[in-house]
Structure 1
Amino acid sequence: MNVHQESFADVVTIAANGPFPRPGSRIAGLGAYRPVTVVPNALAADAAGVDAQWIEQRVGIHERRHATGGESVVAMAVEAGNKALADAGAGPGDVDVIILATCSMPSPMPNGAASVAALLGCPAAAGFDVNAACSGFSHALAVGDALVRAGTARNVLVVASERMSDWVSARDRNTGPIFADGAAAALVSPSERPGIFPVAWGSDGRRAGLINIRPETGHMEMAGRKVYRWTTSALMPAVQGACERAGITPQQLKAFVPHQANLRIIDILAQAIGAPGMVTARDVTSAGNTCAASVPLGFHALRRHGQIHSGDPVLLFGFGAGLTYAAQVVITP
């Protein structure tokens, strides 16, 4: 396998003396898939019975993408997975495990990961799904990192894929204009030096009812204001913890990729970190809230547009239904 070796920023090398065990793991490649159909605010607003400007002012979204036809959770995951493998210079035969982060499969059985493995051409790979909703990718990445460091797997393909438009009512102003679809993937491979640092994660199940699927309708419902207050008041310790576990300070971050819930939350969290020159992912403006896929889609977009470079330390931070959260510092491939 010809997986290119990363270059590390000087500020990150100090973590070699920290708590991270060796050998380490790294993100060797990234891939993304965005559905073809673009839904502008005018259409989303009309369905929800609100004004297009109301959507933009409330959540910062200009447009979003909705999957149609054959763009299933599995199909989008396969597209993103293939691109991540190509970016890493790897092939299907190099993959030992596939972890699919999703909460929008149409049925709880069969799982999606095994189907992704078969369609990618690696049917012997272990495959399982992780459902931590909007923090799903960060949870799955932590598991993939642990598998590689433990020697259980050499290469783990972590994919987040969501078709949230199937689970919200377009008429519900609290969810319809916000949630959208897409997929992104990362190949996790061994590394002599750490490229994925220990995760800071947790949950608050006492507030699980704030985001749920209503049995009578089969649609998501969300207490948006309460979730907003929880996110902006309770989660900064996780950000601090992730940086401490990586052996760096928040001010040394080159980029911040939070869950793309809405623009107000993103800006509040970025301001609280206060790192000079830090780039913040704002993929939500054109992609909407893609749940588990939002963090890797935002990460992929920053790299694709040249806003971050190989070796840059980046903080990934997912949070959402459960309520769950997970943050980790990674090195840009």
Structure 2
Amino acid sequence: MNGSRIAAVGHYQPARILTNEDLAALVDTSDEWITSRVGIRTRHIAGPDEPVDELAGHAAAKALATAGLAPDDIDIDLVLVATSTAVDRSPNMAARVAHRLGIPSPAAMDVNVVCAGFTHALATADHAVRAGAATRVLVIGADKMSDVTDWTDRTTCVLVGDGAGAAVVEAAAPGEAPGIGPVLWGSVPEMGHAVRIEGTPARFAQEGQSVYRWATTRLPAIARQACERAGLTPEELAGVVLHQANLRIIEPLAQKIGAVNAVVARDVVDSGNTSAASIPLALSKLVERGEIGTGDPVLLFGFGGNLSYAGQVVRCP
């Protein structure tokens, strides 16, 4: 097979916006404390009647519409949903999204690699196309972090938001260069405890300083290797979309990668940390605003839970 490309992207966020001032009424914090430490000003929070598959379905519907695919002619071989906040074990989010959208008989799988879930799922879609197992794949990152947040813990509740982003991945045309570059992925299992969602009820917790040091010291070299696998230098990138964890991680990491000419996504300021949704959500917004153009090379790089990471260079749809 000739590789794959992203044909279209889409995103969705719940209507309710939670500001730093709103949080200051819940816990001992302030707008200055939050912005100085993580750079977040607002985040979107889903209601109790907005499950993960609904968020995912809205983002996917937007991506499909942008790709020119109507509900009655959706030809999707595979649906992948990256999420770590699914409540039920079965049916999975992918099957529920396929049902919502009326997609007939796709393979349907969830991918739980937490904050790096979307880039892992995108690589899986690319591999499926290259192997001839699929010609069109719907890839979604969706998380409802508000469901797993301790709203009395000021160190974590100020970080999270809810949302979804999606991409339609298609086989590249004969003779067309692949639009999704080789993935570079891995993990640091011995540090997996540094970011976790565990317990009953499940709650999000992290060792913030450990994650910060690891991300800002170890990841720049790994991200540059992802560029090398795509045959590019960081200076040739038009965009950089890192996992939107913390502005104080994003800015130094982008600088150390050396992408001096790239637009750097900073959606964390308005959306908070949306886990697996953060990369497709930020990418879709950059595309929608015209900050990156069709064919532009963009580095996507996810990192976080399990201390997993995955990155690849894609061509903007």
Instruction: Give the structure-2-normalised TM-score.
Output: 0.96
Aligned mates of 1:39, 1:323 — CA distance in 2 = 28
- What is residue 132 of structure 1 aligned with on the other side? 113
- What is residue 245 of structure 2 aligned with on the other side? 261
Aligned mates of 1:107, 1:230 — CA distance in 2 = 32
- What is residue 186 of structure 2 aligned with on the other side? 202
Identity value in percent: 47
Aligned mates of 1:220, 1:185 — CA distance in 2 = 24
- What is residue 116 of structure 1 aligned with on the other side? 97
State whether structure 2 residue 136 is matched by structure 1 residue 186.
Answer: no
Q: Are the aligned partners of 2:236 and 2:261 in contact in 1 as well (CA < 8 Å)?
A: no
- What is residue 16 of structure 1 aligned with on the other side? none
- What is residue 43 of structure 2 aligned with on the other side? 64
State whether structure 2 residue 124 is matched by structure 1 residue 143.
Answer: yes
* Amino acid paired to 1:174: T
State whether structure 2 residue 296 is matched by structure 1 residue 312.
Answer: yes
Instruction: Give the structure-1-normalised TM-score.
Output: 0.91
Q: Are the aligned partners of 2:63 and 2:168 in contact in 1 as well (CA < 8 Å)?
A: yes
Residue-pair matches, total: 312
Sort the Cα spacing of 1:117 and 1:217 in 2 relative to 1 into closer, same or farther, 3 A.
closer
Aligned mates of 1:113, 1:218 — CA distance in 2 = 21
Corresponding residue to 2:62 among 62, 66, 83: 83
List structure 1 segments (4+ residues) > 4 angstroms apart after TM superposition: none
3-state SS of the aligned residue for 2:129? helix
Aligned mates of 1:250, 1:277 — CA distance in 2 = 8
State whether structure 2 residue 134 is matched by structure 1 residue 158.
Answer: no
- What is residue 34 of structure 2 aligned with on the other side? 55
Measured against aligned partners, the alpha-carbon deviations of 1:64-90 in whole angstroms (never above 9, x if no partner) come to 000014321001111111111111112
Aligned mates of 2:152, 2:4 — CA distance in 1 = 44
Q: Which stretch shifts more, 83-92 or 57-66?
A: 83-92
Q: Are the aligned partners of 2:221 and 2:257 in contact in 1 as well (CA < 8 Å)?
A: no
Give 1:218 shift. 2.5
Give 1:151 shift. 1.0
Aligned mates of 1:121, 1:217 — CA distance in 2 = 33
Q: Are the aligned partners of 1:114 and 1:123 in contact in 2 as well (CA < 8 Å)?
A: no
Aligned mates of 1:326, 1:180 — CA distance in 2 = 22
- What is residue 203 of structure 2 aligned with on the other side? 219
State whether structure 2 residue 31 is matched by structure 1 residue 31.
Answer: no
Corresponding residue to 2:259 among 275, 291, 309: 275
Aligned mates of 1:309, 1:300 — CA distance in 2 = 12
Corresponding residue to 1:233 among 174, 198, 217: 217
- What is residue 176 of structure 1 aligned with on the other side? 157
Aligned mates of 2:161, 2:260 — CA distance in 1 = 31
Q: Are the aligned partners of 2:43 and 2:270 in contact in 1 as well (CA < 8 Å)?
A: yes
Aligned mates of 2:201, 2:128 — CA distance in 1 = 39
Aligned mates of 2:158, 2:181 — CA distance in 1 = 35
Unpaired stretches in structure 1, ≥5 consecutive residues? 1-21
Measured against aligned partners, the alpha-carbon deviations of 1:177-217 in whole angstroms (never above 9, x if no partner) come to 10110001000001132100000110111011111234255
Unpaired stretches in structure 2, ≥5 consecutive residues? none
**CA RMSD between the two structures:** 1.2
